[in-house]
Amino acid sequence: MTPRQLPPPRARLLLLIALALPAPLLAALPTLDRELAVVADDTIRVSDLRIELDRMQAQRKGDAPLVLPPAEDVLKRLVQNTLLEQEGRRLGLDRSETVRRQVAEAVGRHGMTALLDSVAQSVPGKLPEVLEARQTAVRDYIERLKQRNGVKVDTKLLASLDYGSTDSLVQRALREREDVIAVVPDGKLTVKGLTRQIRFTYFHGLQGRPETAETRDKLCDEWVVERLLARQARLQGHAARPEAVRLARLLERDLVREETLNNLLGFSFKPEPQEIEAFYRDHLAQFTPAPRIKVDSALLKDEAAARAFHDRLQQGAKFRWLVGRTPEVQPEIRPFPAEWIEPQALGLKPEGVAAGQVLEPYEVPGGWAVAVVSELEKATPAPLAASRERVLAMMRAQRTREVLAEALRRLEAATPIRILPDARALVAGELARLAAKGEKP
């Protein structure tokens, strides 16, 4: 149910994709696509489960650990996704211009990628040895397309367009001129159109940017190449190929769910001052910073001495008393600062810190440090005036969850839902498969 935004098509991106190692764009269907649940007239299958799990795990960042939800939660999410899609189709959102345009753009990009990939793969060999040859093959193919389609670019006009100018009149003219820069079989690019392309890529335009002319020419060429590749992909019937049809179907489902969520969550949010104050009071802990700490610390020669010192502190020995009676303590050296510090700086969880707490021995330059929490700062909540924006964001998020939960409850109550007897076991099996891999699907 996570909304997705589709990036604008860019020919340079397609070139990079085409020259990479070929890989399937969509997960393959399982050999036996078992049923998990039936929601009204729609059947949820193992293939739907795998797509959802792939999407969930693709959201992992970097080396973040693999976190898998319970099977019951995953199954519930699949049912709710289906309910949202059904509601969207009932509202006619699948026929909306927003959904249809984005699906068409995605299928077009898929066709262009497949087209360039086939050109690159026509050069035999393995990467990286054949990378340069494949790049050359792609560039040559694009040049042949330009010649075959009679592309015309007014290079003199293009060179005269000063997008780096700081003159407001010049910039206004660039936004309004209808002079034609380039002509391809399926359309033409005007100065006004190129200006839109530039501002779509660079929100504030090219004023003050280095290499303005090169960027302008590159974006013009990308427009030409993109149109030619899209036309060639259509002529070769890429949109009708099974993988493109499947891509369109899956993307339409996602977009319909997204539009349905936007429709359901279009509520008015204007809380009264007393509501804001009450929410703030009820959530004071979340506006209270973690308390800082002060520590007494000593540096010992080696790990064995540090652990013995640590154990004596744990048994109740006073820090200063023990320092004066432990010859292994390095005199007049304090490994940790005496001022207030954040607990996290010493690897402590703020919620678990207590005065008198003895920290585990810690290796530092010159030996091993042992510390004890000597003082705990009394933290006070940030005032409402300074926290107002955060309070409002939290209130809106809570309201969003409530509205969505109520909408799903109503959809569930109005829709016949049947969970197959072995559905939970099948979901658990897929989760176990991912856990065993221990990596992104």
Per-residue pLDDT of 120-144, as tens digits, reads: 999 998 888 899 999 999 999 999 9
19, 120 Cβ separation under 8 angstroms: yes
Which secondary-structure segment (H or E) carries 413?
Answer: helix 384-414
pLDDT at 351: 78
Cis-peptide into 381, omega within 30 deg: no
152-153 vs 180-184, strand pairing mode? antiparallel
Rounded CA separation 332/299 (Å): 9
Which residues of the chain are under the pLDDT cut of 70? 1-31, 62, 438-441
112, 234 Cβ separation under 8 angstroms: no
119, 141 Cβ separation under 8 angstroms: yes
Q: Which residue has the tokens 């810690």?
A: 362
pLDDT at 11: 40
pLDDT at 438: 65
Could you tell me which of 335, 338, 347, 339 has the C-alpha nearest to residue 301? 335
Strands of the 152-153 sheet, one edge to the other: 152-153, 180-184, 187-190
Rounded CA separation 250/179 (Å): 40
pLDDT at 1: 44
The domains of the chain, with CATH numbers, are: 1-268+384-441 (no CATH), 289-376 (3.10.50.40)
Taking the model in full, what pTM does it have? 0.70
Rounded CA separation 220/243 (Å): 30
Which secondary-structure segment (H or E) carries 362?
Answer: strand 362-364
pLDDT at 27: 42
335, 306 Cβ separation under 8 angstroms: no
Rounded CA separation 319/63 (Å): 40
Annotate 253-286 with three-state secondary structure: HHHHHHHHHHHHCCCCCCCCHHHHHHHHHHCHHH
pLDDT at 24: 42
Task: Name the DSSP class of 152.
Answer: E
180-184 vs 42-45, strand pairing mode? unpaired
358: three-class secondary structure by DSSP: strand
pLDDT at 321: 94
pLDDT at 344: 87
Largest pairwise CA distance in the chain = 92
pLDDT at 391: 96
Which secondary-structure segment (H or E) carries 48?
Answer: helix 46-58
27, 441 Cβ separation under 8 angstroms: yes
